[in-house]
Amino acid sequence: MTTGDMAENMDATLIRDPMGGATPSGVRDHNERLVLSLIQRHGALPSADVARRANVSAQTVSTIIRALEKDGLLIRGEPIRGRVGKPSIPMALNPDGVLSLGLNIGRKSADLVLIDVTGAIRAVAKRTYAYPTPGAVMRFLEENLPKATAPLEALGRARLAGIGVAAPFELWNWLDIVNAPKEEMQAWRDFDIEDRVAAVTGLPVILRNDATAACTAEHVFGRGREFADYAYFFIGSFIGGGVVLNDTVYTGRTGNAGAFGSIPVASGAGVPRQLIDHASIFLLERRLSKAGIDPAAIWDPGTDWAAFGAALDDWIEHTARHLAIGVVAVSAVIDFERILVEVNAPPEVRRRIVERTRVAAAGLDTQGIGAPVIAEASVGRNARAIGAAALPILDRYLLSQPRFG
């Protein structure tokens, strides 16, 4: 049962606080999710702190915590001794309690990860290609699934929540940019990703736009936990993004909220173009090719990007200049607390892009709006796969709006 289904079945008069829990036994599942969400968001907490933050009775929380501990979802920390009374025992998520798979289908690579409930990666596999095809992606999944699930042998398959899939919507678009043959890429139009992944894995599948999945990773495991409202930019082969409102990742009517790559920006000649044409890694590939450097090096996680020299410097400046326009544009719509930026690149490259974007944004006219505060995201270049893996955990164990107390 999803959180939305539970909300429909709950009698509103039984809820003490719309951001807290309810004590009747009929909504125990909601309260269990609430306890797990609070501990996931704030770290290890004694039961008294959980009860206070959730606005649920101490007795109810104690009962829930005992049940979750028995099920292997929570573990006890070291007792905290005060001046008087019994020591309090902080309860933390058991890293072995829940694990989940995430498959990212990128335009230049595919990634498969196994993560635990704390966001730590237990296994990872990666494959690069010139362009994605359904056959290549499914072969990658079939070949690497045994390796990815090997850590479960000692824990049991019951600990596996499911598999999330992150993929760009309409993979068959922008074929001229990725130099992919139209005939092969059109196969994605009639390819049921969820059905095929379920057939290969035998697991529940949740599909999400890749940039929204990356935003989910940041919100559940990264700096996003600090803010209730923010815009998230992810710079991959193409730039995309996500939107968080009221502490919830907002997917939108069609699941494509945060499609920041479509924001209109002006080129040097004043011709309207989209942000995707000015702040995406495919532009770096072109610069490297012109400089005589193999662009495939971009997709090797072990590559030191400092070796890209002037081509990288030029790309960072061009990206930051246009990203600043996009940042101001989204800030004019919603007064976000932060603008978080992630890049499928080494952390040093992300840092440089954020720094140069701040400089570029400071030079733009922001009269009438609050100056946007731009910061680095923290999950890293695997954010899309990690976010995909987070989806089954959220669906089965956590609440979608976890900021309480």
Same topology for domains 99-208+386-395 and 223-378, yes or no? yes
**For residues 195-200, average pLDDT:** 98
Q: Does the pLDDT at position 18 exceed 60?
A: no
- What is the reported pLDDT for 272? 80
Task: Identify each DSSP E strand in 277-336 by its residue range.
Answer: none
- What is the reported pLDDT for 181? 81
User: Please, what CATH class does the domain formed by 99-208+386-395 belong to?
Assistant: alpha beta
Q: How far is CA 342 from the centre of its chain?
A: 10
- What is the reported pLDDT for 267? 63
- What is the reported pLDDT for 177? 67
The token pair that represents 210 in the structure block = 């890749």
Please choose, from the candidates 182, 237, 240, 192, the residue with its C-alpha nearest in 3D space to the C-alpha of residue 215.
240
- The residue written with tokens 């930051």 in the block is 320
Predicted structure pTM score: 0.89
Cα separation, 212 vs 215, in Å, equals 5
Q: Which helix (H) or strand (E) holds 161?
A: strand 160-167
Domain boundary assignment for the chain? 3-94, 99-208+386-395, 223-378
**For residues 209-226, average pLDDT:** 96
- The residue written with tokens 């995406």 in the block is 280
Q: Does the pLDDT at position 45 exceed 70?
A: yes
Q: Which amino acid is at 13?
A: T
> In angstroms, what CA-CA distances link 391 with 109, 115, 242, 315?
21, 11, 15, 33
Q: Does the pLDDT at position 269 exceed 80?
A: no
Q: Which residue has the higher pLDDT, 308 or 9?
A: 308
> In angstroms, what CA-CA distances link 6 with 27, 33, 336, 398?
8, 11, 30, 12
| Domain at 223-378: CATH code | 3.30.420.40
Cα separation, 405 vs 42, in Å, equals 10
Per the CB < 8 A criterion, the answer to whether 309 and 345 are in contact is: no
3-state SS, residue 130:
coil
> In angstroms, what CA-CA distances link 1 with 27, 93, 224?
12, 22, 26
Q: Does the pLDDT at position 235 exceed 90?
A: yes
Q: Does the pLDDT at position 16 exceed 90?
A: no
User: Please, what CATH class does the domain formed by 3-94 belong to?
Assistant: mainly alpha
- What is the reported pLDDT for 152? 92
Q: Does the pLDDT at position 15 exceed 60?
A: no
- What is the reported pLDDT for 225? 92
The token pair that represents 24 in the structure block = 């009747």
The token pair that represents 147 in the structure block = 């390796």
